[in-house]
Structure 1
């Protein structure tokens, strides 16, 4: 799912939540006749996600009359607020669905419970390394990986071909060369076709493309203790690529790829896999112009990506944690007649990568759209987005520093030093 605008900075609320940990318990309660009523809070407020989850919950409720599950949904932009406010008031849902980036904050505030050892072992043995990394804080697994996305290089075949480029760039030097070849400006110098987009809609903004390039150079974002790891040769060289493109006016941070790519105003963009479903709907017949390739690294054969995910876990204060884990195990493990899990099918039907390795392998064999292949393949090498406490603030600091390079011409060395100083391990 697309990470949209407006994830609120709720550190103060999370602090309140930690201090209010003694207030009440989860709002799951025993129903009539001794039945257990569980609540599941998620952001699946619209179809097809909502109807698919509702269908699975209805099946469980029919087969398990003694453990009934009620779905509660809010818009994604309201999810973190709802999680924190309800928890502070002692009304937290028994089962929570959350963005992996929040994991460290939610763990620190005692929202998510420890995954039972037996279930944790099954999860660790069944899911891809990138999916696990996106929902693991330190050594703590937060729950079952659910939504999962990796980044890749999207390009317009028609625009590249018109500039004499027959294949997507495979190194940073080629990436810069192609971006400079395809850019078009009007008589006043205004960009009509951007070479490579380096800013995204939503809270990820410029950070995710940069982190994908950083990964391709063998770098990493944060250490296990939350300390900055990007202010080094790998980080400086990755940001220098972006600085060179900005200086050559082959990229323009004011241009939105999600709005301009589909109309031919952007030649290349570093974007998450969920975008394919949107492009198919928006571009219709012109979708055949879309190509997807690995994000190139500094040398031939090197490549990088960023993986981010969501998870479902149990509220530490749920009165029915055993029943909640029983339901979650069923939700994520029961299989369809097609040999994949129902959860995997639900995600794949939305154009997302199933995080369970066996599901992804099955779907890879039947992919009819070649554009999905680099996105699936990136799950094997992508840098998981860090999610320890303070990661959200660190990402914001990195974004602010990157924008000083793209918009104001600041040197990569100065910008990354500035960002590193702003990162406060917690």
Structure 2
């Protein structure tokens, strides 16, 4: 998943505690005051596969080389490997000059000291911080500190639905509330027991916490207090996780097999007409790669209790996205900043975000009519009016692994027919919280 799709079995904070101030950096080029001839770039996988990303990025990197004389060595890294690769680079000192990170990792990596801080001087070198949407910059590091990265692609969650499956079940419009979504999902499953209302990915830890975070907002829970301490066992947090798992355990609109699904398997089921709805970020390119036509699916805001997305208890997405960062000890710092400036220029933002189905975090690029397409308009409006950033705390990555794993265990219970109760959810989250304090 974009941001946010890594489900690494390690945590940034513990792994980097002993290497504060370390970074990566290729051995090519000279020191920070020289013009480097080569940069190494780790790009996170944004498209349906790695080859698709290479096809999109290669001609753009050639433009940069033509303009600057700097060659960029590209490696597209799968989300399943990216966090582990970053941690290995920080401990070994052998890594890229520039890399993509999910914005949810920004504060954790910032706390390690591994990334170049984006001070006013550094932002001015790429055109100024005010070029970027404020919420995107706000998801690039802890409040009150210089961001650890620069926004590159902005994303949000939306509800994608299969138009034919809706029509066959006599459903005339997408659901706006969770009660409507449950009712629609049950109609679809009752009409054909081989089809299901909603898809999920029980083994995708990041996706688990993204959904829990949004539902937590709707229940008045943040999962962390203002000091950054985990509050996983609050009534709102427990209610949020139970509501999510109940889509399988109680409401019976998610297939039990989804408890074992990993990254992108829910999109495959949706594309094959096995499920009628999926909550996802910028899925259009993946649907197209799996044979769906744009007319086959529709998109709507993620449901909220009132039916009208907004702030507070009507938040319906995390502020998702990809940031571009520079390793702090790169020998190519000037060239790296030039590359960040190129990738976040107005023209490149239009090209890259169109290609990946994302929204530019650069304000001027958003004016392009291409971003008025129905699906992108939903994502853009969500980011502007009803999305909230995940807590920018140093141990956010542990939130992904501990709570994500707790929810995974609850999915397994639901799939096995075991009761999922308020007590069992609280017990799972209590265990996750205890792991945060060890």
Aligned equivalent of 1:384, options 370, 389, 394:
389
Contact preservation (8 Å) 2:13, 2:394 = no
Question: 8 Å contact 1:148–1:354 — kept in the other structure?
Answer: yes
Preserved contact between residue 231 and residue 420 of structure 1 (Cα < 8 Å)? yes
Q: How does 1:227-266 map to 2 (within 5 A)?
A: 227-229=229-231, 231-245=233-247, 246-255=249-258, 256-266=265-275
Structure 1 residue 293, shift from structure 2 partner: 0.8
Matched, 1:137 2:142: yes
Q: 1:39 to 1:200 in 2, by over 3 A?
A: farther
The alpha-carbon distance between structure 1 residues 129 and 201, as it changes in their structure 2 partners (threshold 3 A), is farther
Q: TM-score, normalised by structure 1?
A: 0.82
Structure 2 distance, partners of 1:225, 1:412, is 27
Relative to structure 2, which stretch is displaced further, 221-230 or 313-322?
Answer: 221-230
Q: Distance in 2 between matches of 1:130 and 1:298?
A: 24
Q: Which residue of 2 aligns with 1:281?
A: 289
Match of 1:419 in 2: 429
Structure whose residues are more often strand by fraction: 1
Deviations 1:39-70 (A, max 9, x none): 233135734433443333333333334xx243
Aligned with 2:368: secondary structure?
helix
Q: Secondary structure at the match of 1:112?
A: coil
Would you say the 8 A contact 2:4–2:102 is kept in 1? no
Q: Kindly state the Cα deviation for residue 170 of structure 1 after the two structures are TM-superposed.
A: 1.4
Q: Following TM superposition, by how much is the alpha carbon of 1:404 offset from its aligned partner in structure 2, in angstroms? A: 4.6
Shift of the alpha carbon at 1:112?
A: 0.2
Contact persistence 2:209–2:399 (CA under 8 A): no
Q: Which residue of 2 aligns with 1:40?
A: 40
Checking the alignment, whether the CA contact within 8 Å between 1:133 and 1:385 is kept in structure 2 is no
Distance 1:164 1:12 in 2: 48
Partner of 2:261: none
Q: Report how far residue 4 of structure 1 moved.
A: 8.7
1:297 paired to 2:304: yes
With over 3 angstroms needed to count, the CA separation of the structure-2 counterparts of 1:251 and 1:347, relative to structure 1, is: same
TM (norm. structure 2) is 0.80
Give a deviation string over 1:341-394, Cα, whole Å, max 9, x none. 313321212222222233224246642xx2332122211121223453322221
Determine if contact 1:307/1:382 at 8 Å carries over to the other structure: yes
Is 1:174 aligned to residue 218 of structure 2? no
Equivalent-residue separation in structure 2 for 1:36 and 1:224 (angstroms)? 43
Report the Cα distance in structure 1 between the residues aligned to 2:215 and 2:392, rounded to whole angstroms: 19
Query: CA 1:212 to 1:123, structure 2 compared with 1: closer, same or farther past 3 Å?
Result: farther
Gaps of 5+ in 2: 259-264
Q: Which runs of 5+ in 1 are unaligned?
A: 336-340
Q: Given the superposition, is the C-alpha separation of residues 372 and 230 from structure 1 closer, same or farther in structure 2, using an over 3 Å criterion?
A: farther
User: What whole-Å deviation, never above 9, does each CA across 1:227-248 have from its counterpart, x for those lacking one?
Assistant: 2355445434434433543213
Aligned pairs for 1:21-420 within 5 A: 27-30=27-30, 35-43=35-43, 46-65=50-69, 68-76=70-78, 77-120=80-123, 124-140=129-145, 141-184=147-190, 191-199=193-201, 202-217=204-219, 219-223=221-225, 225-229=227-231, 231-245=233-247, 246-255=249-258, 256-273=265-282, 275-285=283-293, 287-302=294-309, 303=314, 304-333=316-345, 335=346, 341-363=347-369, 366-367=372-373, 370-380=374-384, 381-406=386-411, 407=414, 408-412=418-422, 414-416=424-426, 418-419=428-429
Q: Offset at 1:118?
A: 3.5
**Residue 338 of structure 1: aligned partner:** none
1:8 correspondence with 2:1: no
What SS is found at the alignment partner of 2:271? coil
Asked whether the 8 Å contact 1:215–1:306 carries over to 2, the reply is no
- SS of 1:192's equivalent in the other structure is coil
